[in-house]
């Protein structure tokens, strides 16, 4: 299973939110590159980089942070937040992203998302399935799309999607454990590579995601709050 630390960006700084609420913003480091280099130093190979300004603005904003980290580390970066147009996705890939995650765009403009899937390939395009009480949320988690998460994933799996990041918004940043039941249901009813996100609070949570069959586990606040050490993650890499 891939170990994937997260860096969320607002105003170029490394932050975390609780349940996607921008008013709960907490700044952990004003220099995301420092954080990324610490991950790499401890043997971590992957990074989940989210442009929270972009998610709210509906267009890519913090691509310079992506570019800096991509140029100065060897981390394989999946990038999301504000990818809403051909120009946005072009900027993301040209700035160094290895994979791009699209969530809102898959709801609002599914034809465009599927065109990206065809153009860039299923290894490059991740479906972002962010949900609250099983319903898909879009536009920086500010709106409810009224689509069940499993139905949403199955719809795009049928069109060739291979990778899905599943984020339970009610657990994100809460350090209260991951959404195991939903992940198990998704894995039972599909063949996608599921990357679990939201709620991880300890190494035991990470190992649980591995045991139920997740392809990757995204870890955010647990690292920044000292609940999981980089040394512990290094031992799993």
Give which of 122, 136, 142, 137 is closest to 193, Cα–Cα: 122
- Cα separations (Å) of 28 from 9, 76, 141, 232? 10, 22, 21, 20
Rounded to 10°, the helix 63-72/32-41 angle is: 30
Nearest-angstrom CA–CA distance, 86 and 90: 6
Distance from chain centroid for Cα 153 = 15
- Catalytic status, residue 151: no
Nearest-angstrom CA–CA distance, 129 and 197: 10
- Catalytic status, residue 78: no
**From 130, 168, 172, 205, the catalytic residue:** 130
Strand residue runs (E) in 30-65 = 46-51
Q: What CA dihedral angle connects 18, 20, 21 and 27, to 10 degrees?
A: 60
Please report where in the chains the tokens 């997260």 appear, as a residue. 6
Catalytic residue set = 8, 130
């Amino acid at each position: 299973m891939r170990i994937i630390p997260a860096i969320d960006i607002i105003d170029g700084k490394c932050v975390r939110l609780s349940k996607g609420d921008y008013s709960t913003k907490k700044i952990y480091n004003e220099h995301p590159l420092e954080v990324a280099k610490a991950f790499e130093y401890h043997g971590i190979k992957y990074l989940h980089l989210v442009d929270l300004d972009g998610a709210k603005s509906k267009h890519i904003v913090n691509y310079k942070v992506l570019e800096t980290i991509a140029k100065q580390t060897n981390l394989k970066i999946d990038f999301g937040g504000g990818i809403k147009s051909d120009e946005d996705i072009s900027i993301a890939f040209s700035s160094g992203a290895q994979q791009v995650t699209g969530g809102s765009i898959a709801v609002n403009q599914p034809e465009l998302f599927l065109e990206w899937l065809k153009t860039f390939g299923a290894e490059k395009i991740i479906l972002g399935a962010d949900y609250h009480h099983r319903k898909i949320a879009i536009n920086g988690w500010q709106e409810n799309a009224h689509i069940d998460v499993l139905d949403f994933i199955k719809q795009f799996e049928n069109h060739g999607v291979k990778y899905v990041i599943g984020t339970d918004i009610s657990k994100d940043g809460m350090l209260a454990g991951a959404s195991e039941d939903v992940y198990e249901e998704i894995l039972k009813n599909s063949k996608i590579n599921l990357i679990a996100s939201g709620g991880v609070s300890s190494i035991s949570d990470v190992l649980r995601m591995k045991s139920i069959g997740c392809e990757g586990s995204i870890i955010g606040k647990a690292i920044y709050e000292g609940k999981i050490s980089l040394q512990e993650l290094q031992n799993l890499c």
